[in-house]
Amino acid sequence: MAGSGLFDWRGSWTLSLLLAYLCYLLLGAAIFQLLEKQAEAQSRNQFQMEKLRFLENYTCLDQYALERFVQVIMEAWEKGVNPTGNSTNPSNWDFSNSFFFAGMVVTTIGYGNLSPSTEAGQIFCIFYALFGIPLNVVFLNHLGTGLRSHLATMDTWGHQPRHNQVVQTLGLALFLTVGTFLLLILPPMVFSHVEGWSYGEGFYFAFITLSTIGFGDYVVGTDPDKHYISVYRSLAAVWIILGLAWLALVLPLGPMILHQLMYLWPLNKDPSSKKGITPEADGLSHTTKLPITI
């Protein structure tokens, strides 16, 4: 009967999570619709007006010819060719851009603004991703494991002198602060300067990229009117890999630092907790160990 009760508890918990998940999706859908639908309608109406105005100014063209030209532009865009450029624009498949694309494949970001157009390239992309994605996951997990091995002493953090606890907590906070500045605060400044974006747009691009969402609405190194250095996109790919690795290290550290800060607070209130000793109801004292999840 105990097993039946456990099954009922797990089933109810799963159902609750499912309902919460669906409610979260419904809430997101409602808010996105409220924020974006009117702007989309305005853009659609403006585009239609521009087409009508173009036909009025160039009477030698008919509706079919214009629609065909728009279709050609859309096909070029889907193949990574910017329609506002010309034939002198740098190739999307030079080594630097190819390196950037390879990084987007193995990290599963996939901006969607560039993809292989040849059958051979598509087949190679399948096998490249098939082996590259697990390799990327193993690499990031290995970095996380390496950090946990260096922080093995944190398992006994609750039994260390208070001075050591404070030093370790400050060290982790410094690690998070420096990493946040170098990988989340500084790069948007660089992208804003190079790409001509606002800082908000640069930060939006950085977050969407490092979270591997990769909408493709903002992509570095794609403006045909700008002259980028040859290694610009390769450096961006390196930043992405480092950023993902840093996140793989940071995500387990968040709960650990929270536990530490929560544990430090009562040390100033209850002298008996400084030695990690908790009074029990039977009059005896037992050492307690802080449960820390890394």
pLDDT at 251: 73
Asked whether residue 92 carries a pLDDT value surpassing 50, the answer given is: yes
Asked whether residue 287 carries a pLDDT value surpassing 50, the answer given is: no
**pLDDT classification of 268: cutoffs 50, 70, 90:** low
User: Is 243 within a domain?
Assistant: yes
- Of 271 and 225, which is predicted with more confidence? 225
Ranked by mean pLDDT, the top range of 76-85, 87-96, 119-128, 277-286 is 119-128
Neighbours of 52 (CB within 10 A): 12
Asked whether residue 226 carries a pLDDT value surpassing 70, the answer given is: yes
The residue segments making up the domain with residue 135 are 62-287
d(CA 287, CA 289): 7
Q: What does pLDDT average to over the chain? A: 79
Q: Is 220 exposed, middle or buried (0-12, 13-18, 19+ CB in 10 A)?
A: buried
Q: Range with the lowest mean pLDDT among 46-50, 104-108, 251-255?
A: 251-255
User: Is 274 within a domain?
Assistant: yes
CATH classification of the domain holding 92: 1.10.287.70
User: Is 15 within a domain?
Assistant: no
pLDDT per residue over 22-33, tens digit each? 998 999 899 999
pLDDT per residue over 241-259, tens digit each? 889 888 877 776 666 666 6
User: Is 188 within a domain?
Assistant: yes
Neighbours of 120 (CB within 10 A): 8
112 φψ region: left (φ > 0), alpha (ψ -120 to 50), beta (else): left
User: Is 7 within a domain?
Assistant: no
User: Is 111 within a domain?
Assistant: yes
- Of 35 and 273, which is predicted with more confidence? 35
> Looking at the 3D structure of the chain, how many domains does it have?
1
Alpha helix stretches (DSSP H) within 58-118: 63-78, 95-106
pTM for the whole structure: 0.72
The proportion of the chain whose per-residue pLDDT surpasses 70, expressed as a percent, equals 73
User: Is 45 within a domain?
Assistant: no
User: Is 254 within a domain?
Assistant: yes
Span 100-112, mean pLDDT?
92
